[in-house]
Structure 1
């Protein structure tokens, strides 16, 4: 019965509009040549705070005009919401005006309410457009909020961007069944073109599995083109959900990092390896850790991220691992499971480097192709090339020593005990 009343209210709104549309017709066909006035967006879902209703005139007025509005629906003014004005003013020479609907949180009921707003009549010299009404779904205490986790992100080869759900108290919400959330692309703000620069393998949706902590928006890179690399995603209204703090997300298509240049040694970070000694888990012989100086350099030359010529110019210790002589190195993949020096997940590019002594030793030779990971970072205003050595097998009695006992599979040292080497670019 309640839903039927809402439909009747909405129908009455539309019926109120029809006389205005007819009255601004200037011929027998009912087609108006007068400029229209209309509402930019016709549907809103609101949890807390306020929403701004924009009203647009096709042609700017020569003097200020005021368009009155009518209110209807189950929501009660000054009990469930307030409105900044019962009309909207479009100033002379401008094309838009607005008014604000604010939620009164103290009186929020359990279930949702609805508010209908329509433009009552057009001022002289204008007619009302077809979209001259708006509906606002005012969520109750049983409603939910949807929000992107971040407002900005980047894509190398692919990107995954998180959506979070919350209840009206701000606690994380896990839906009992899978939910599908639609996203739209802001064509005016975006410069990248779908199908040319990027694709969305699951379509313009975010799938939020039952009982999950987050939903994922998936985007793949197709081409990197300077100046045409920005995508602005916006959450689409969904019944029962209001948009939260981050309704939009700007994504930049940058592609995998290109590491071309001459790089000079800056410092080591042995923290991941040292942990085993500190916790009494293994003797790693820290006094035998490799050393290097600013004289240790390497050159990477390549026009794309897919292939480089690698020329190490290292002294004794780094040469134990990297050897000498120029060789071609190839892109393997972008790995998203590593953590940076601050423990934050980051993207590393794995390269296949031939001629590596994975023993990192001058007493034992075990030469083969190895995977070495690289990442460009900014720290204290400086650019660093972080080199991540996880494809190595320590030799007993030398640096890393007893870590050999912890190597359960090929991925263990990658994630648990990498040697990090930091280089700076030689200008």
Structure 2
């Protein structure tokens, strides 16, 4: 691994690391990748002991970029050292969270960074099989990954005796069928096995009994794509970016009412105020009203939270979660109850139906919100919403239920007056109707 005292270029907080190749001509090809240090980290990694790589990733503090933020090196360390069964590495590229759009552009612009990371991670965990599970609707992404995998096989970076190291690895690109629930790691594993995508009971955890009941590690695309940079730069260099407990660079996805929506790479801990400056500010100068820090399943925040550090600890301290760093930005023209209703309709549709709290709760949440937005709500509906949320939170089989209640509870917390205004509108309509009936009599 590279000496941390002489780190590679890119330690400036705004110098791209993960996205450094994205604007290169034909950045997705093996030729371009190799010209820009591609597969150099693999050669370094294959000369090291697998346990050294696990310790390196632990020391770097690389945390899962899929939303949970679990330390990647610790997760890799859960895999048995002596394989009595085949080991599997599974890449969760089923990007279905509303607002999340970081993994698909990464795989489109720089698929070989993911493949190189896969080989390094598989070598560290003694795995000889890797599955990349991609959302089926991302057809161009699936095709580009297939092309990159073919190039890697032809050049000796995949297959038998990789670069003469004696290590073998096969990579399979699998297209899902567009189920949001398959973003949950155990539902993804069931889908890979040809079953209906539904979450499994844990324990056993995938590291003990995952794909085909064998030891399995499931990692996000951005997590694995970060690994070659950790190997080349070293743990100390990686920690020069971000914050102490959340080090490294991160891809932030900005969408909604901003002048220049898109992907912005910045160190973990960057604030929305700084990201908005990079994105050219609010669209047409209309002030910010509310935003999500990590997709629709994270509690929303307001204009008062512009300086919240967007890392795992900073988001938690603000009463939300970092999630997938999908920042959906809404200006003052947007109704909070309307936005919350649209998200809830999504969760109602995507609930796998396995557990009662989520299956029934999301249905009733959507029904109540639709009635309120339609101008037929009552003040009691607000209490009903919170009561149903309370019966879903922590009681559903997987995190989908918890994510479904987040925009509702946070929306009522910060914008209760908007929900009450809908009830007042209904009360005014009822009063007017009663007056009309009285006049008619």
Structure number with larger C-alpha Rg: 1
Q: Which has the higher helix share?
A: 2
Q: Which has the higher strand share?
A: 1
Question: TM-score, normalising length from structure 1?
Answer: 0.25
